[in-house]
Structure 1
Amino acid sequence: MSSPILPFTEANSKRVASLFRQALRTAFDSTLKFDAYRAQTLKIRQQFEANKHISDPVELEKVIAKTEAKLTETKHPDPYITPCRPGGTKYQRNIELPKEDVVPGDW
């Protein structure tokens, strides 16, 4: 078992920031309307702000584990993918033509 990450360290800050971004993406996948998404982001920010004072490493690990479990539970089955990213609707739509002859032979 790995040792708990101490609070107020760079590693802890990156871990919490990653969870925050993941929570925002999950909220966006669930609510594509901006006003509903904005309400969700304010709620998420409020929840993260409420726990930013935690200095006990054991309690911090419990809160982080609870957050990770909630994120996996609420993960959207069909997340939004930007069209030009891998898996998007426009990804590799205009593929380059092959450099060699398409039909072999001397015409």
Structure 2
Amino acid sequence: MASILPFTEANTQRVASLFRKALRTAYDSSYKFDAYRLETIKIRQQFEVNRHISDPTELEEVIAKTVDKLQEAKHPDPYIAPCRPGGTKFQRNIEVPRTPLVPGDW
């Protein structure tokens, strides 16, 4: 992947996306909110330590390590909201179609 210069909008979006993925991964693996909150504070501190990296090569290395760490910590059975695709209530009550059931010109 081509290196992206630090402090640009593209890099900011990329790091923000990694941060959101890290938070979701922490949410999937914690059952209590207080444990999740402590984990989010640790994640934020880890991202803040690397906030001022200005060398593109070093930045790529840190991002690659973060991606590897997220892949390693990925939960095998992540939480899916019930009404979202893949959730337990997704399309449970599908609307009845308003079109005629038997096609034809009556």
The answer to whether TM tops 0.5 is: yes
Aligned partner of 2:25: which letter?
Answer: T
Aligned partner of 1:47: which letter?
Answer: Q
Write out per-residue CA displacement over residues 21-40 of structure 1, whole angstroms, 9 at most, x where no aligned residue: 00000000000210000000
- Gaps of at least 5 residues in structure 2 are none
Counterpart check, 1:59 vs 2:58: yes
Counterpart check, 1:35 vs 2:62: no
Equivalent residue, structure 1, for 2:100: 100
TM-score (norm 2): 0.90
**Distance (whole Å) between structure 2 residues aligned to residue 96 and residue 77 of structure 1:** 33
- Post-superposition, which runs of at least 4 consecutive aligned residues in structure 1 deviate over 4 A? none
Structure 1 vs Structure 2 CA RMSD: 1.3
Write out per-residue CA displacement over residues 68-92 of structure 1, whole angstroms, 9 at most, x where no aligned residue: 0000111001100011100011110
**Distance (whole Å) between structure 2 residues aligned to residue 32 and residue 100 of structure 1:** 47
**Distance (whole Å) between structure 2 residues aligned to residue 11 and residue 91 of structure 1:** 34
Equivalent residue, structure 2, for 1:23: 22
**Distance (whole Å) between structure 2 residues aligned to residue 10 and residue 51 of structure 1:** 17
How many residues matched?
A: 101
Equivalent residue, structure 2, for 1:105: none
- Gaps of at least 5 residues in structure 1 are 103-107
